[in-house]
Chain A
């Protein structure tokens, strides 16, 4: 009887290990990523990363004019992001997007079907801040998509990106999907890359909720950078 039980448990373990369930990996670490940034970090890409979909839905709730929703909304997100990063890391250097936009857009593989796209500095070229210093690590924010009921599979799993979603009348959640890379500026290599997803249940939606969404995102990035360290 115990023999039978152990066979079943082994079979179950194999099933777990090989992944009978959804097995996408949403993060990838460099084998030499040994220490998460602490105390100081540089960040780039935040001028162009934020995108708000369903702008009229947001405009109605945030009481912003529909035509200026993209500009004002993303500006708010960007500022909140900066403030939150500064809270988390103390010494924050913000590099303008022009530092990386000149490099060609490349794709980075996270898993068999998961690829993220972004401007990544060339091998042998270091990023410099306005005073000419070279920050040791730079967080490159590739994309930050805000919308309702979004799933990261639909954006980053190449088997699913052509799926069309049905029109949803009444959304349940405000979603944020963001991809980023922690860049080793001294050795010019990607230390850690990830795609994250946040679902924020909707009750009444105000600007404070959007601020809160960005706050959660920054905390998630910080946690992931620590969890991704290859021990």
Chain B
């Protein structure tokens, strides 16, 4: 879902850059003033954030086959947001997208749009979807790790579909691709691609719960802490 250069309407590009930059600044400010990692020795967790980012880069680098002659790759916005919270996820996704643009994966001028789709829609909105699903599961007998794993799978799937739909709207704004084609086509392909996103995200969250549960700092936000 990496938008290349030369595709989007210039005004839309600027607007999405502004929205993304404001969100990143707010995120930096919110993290700096929040209780994010205020436990003693919590700075030891920073290398693990590096590990998570490396995993996101690695999974975005490789494409898995999808029936119908297309392929998909992890976006990871919801996954990072479930682990590190909404603001950190936007910062992580923005930095990963910058590095990918160095290699030509996604246009540099489209970084704002890509951050908006994958970081803000995929991350922040995705996390709220996950929170909603966790709330729906609150009266079940499931353990919290299973609840969050299931919610991550569904949330990351829905967030990807939403991001793909918005991406379809964005590419149709300039008239390059008609809206009546762009949105249904993006929706159709990502209904399939999203299955991979859901499975990979859920497996990684479950794995972290089994190996380093302290890394998942959103439990209180999701109401299971």
A-B complex is real: no
